[in-house]
Structures are given as structure tokens and as C-alpha cells.
Amino acid sequence: MATNLHTFDGVLINPITIRRKYLGPGEEQWARRRREEGELIHEIAHQLGAHPFLVSKAIREARVSDGQMILL
């Protein structure tokens, strides 16, 4: 991830380039896989540009093909 120096303070920051308000099926599956690999929810959320609540919701719920939802 690229970093920048803030022009006024000189603090090293990470730019936010993507902001998601919802997660699609691909992002949900990716988040579940990353969590299974041991990644922290907050880090997954930062990588996706989403709120940690959305990521934790995607990890907790698995969508079944017939529309039912089950808890993992």
C-alpha cells in the first residue's frame, strides 16, 4: 500500500482510495477467506474500504443458494 506524507504536519498516512457502502458476493467471499487465514476484521475492512460492521456481518452469515441464511 502506498503511503504519503501529510503536507502540513509531515505525518505518514495511508490514502483511502476506495469507500464501499455495501459488500457484493465476491467481496463477502474474499472477506471470509481472509478471516479464515487469520486476518483481523479491522484490517480486512481497511483493505476493502468498508466499515468493520459490514465485514463482520459478511463473515457471520453465509448465503445459501435457495436464499436462506445460516450462521457460521
Report yes or no on 42 lying in a domain. Answer: yes
Number of residues that this document lists for the chain? 72
Answer whether 0.75 is exceeded by the pTM. Answer: no
- pLDDT at position 2 over 90: no
Number of domains in the chain: 1
Residue 10 lies inside a defined structural domain of this protein: no
* pLDDT tens readout for residues 26-56: 999 999 999 999 999 999 999 999 999 999 9
Averaged pLDDT, 3-7: 82
H-type helices in the chain, by residue range?
A: 25-36, 41-48, 52-60
Domain that holds residue 67: 18-71
Separation between Cα atoms, residue 71 and residue 40, nearest integer Å: 19
